Amino acid sequence: YSGDKMGPISMGVFATKVNPSIAWVLMECPTLIFAAVLWFGYGDPQCVTNLPNILLLLCFVVHYINRTIIYPMRMNKAASPSNFFVVMSANTFCSVNGYIQSASLARHLVVEGGAMFWIGLVIWAVGFYINLDADDILRKLRKPGESGYKIPRGGMFEYVSGANYFGEIVEWLGYAIAMGGELPGLAFAICTVCNIGPRALSHHKWYLGKFEDYPPQR
């Protein structure tokens, strides 16, 4: 969730700029709140004692602990502030999705632990690693005091321009597979592709226009 070009809507409170670290906490924290409340306060015994449910919720929570707590703490100090409207839009999505995923795993679905579950879990783990590695590469792209743009190199950036976006898409596709293709996981995966897929393509086009020596194999 980034970008401040909101057109005419960027007026009044909507135009307020939010510190980037605080913005990430505000955007992502509903997921952790709903996970804790629904799992520990309203969980169905059949769901909360089922190992696949436990592992899938753990995948969801681990991702959002990184996004809500660890990622903001490690952000580059030169990061741009976020538009308040963007922050609240992301907060709304995370609230709705946090409730749906947490309620499904805590109360409504008993996930089967067959082969597809474990395959999906491995795919999620691969995507999570790619996402973390890409974030680390981007964070270290500029040394203290440097300005301007650079071409990210290493990891999945050797193959795709938006390795961070690619990793997150892989994560939630794996999550959906592990959930057995049930609607909550599938909807989350589709929303992720529709949300950050176009942004990944936009980044790729920007890199091609910005750098004459951009790697042609990406």
* Phi, psi (rounded to 5 degrees) for 18: -115, 135
H helices of 142-182, in order, are 163-178
- pLDDT tens, per residue, the chain with 218 residues: 444 444 444 456 667 889 999 999 999 999 999 999 999 999 999 999 999 999 999 999 999 999 999 999 998 777 788 889 899 999 999 999 999 999 999 999 999 999 999 999 999 999 999 999 999 999 888 777 777 788 999 999 999 999 999 999 999 999 999 999 999 999 999 999 999 999 999 999 999 999 988 998 88
The CA R_g of the chain, rounded to the nearest whole Å, is: 18
State residue 168's pLDDT score. Answer: 97
Nearest to 59 by CA among 166, 164, 138, 177: 177
pTM for the whole thing?
0.89
State residue 113's pLDDT score. Answer: 94
Nearest to 178 by CA among 100, 126, 130, 118: 118
State residue 12's pLDDT score. Answer: 62
State residue 8's pLDDT score. Answer: 47
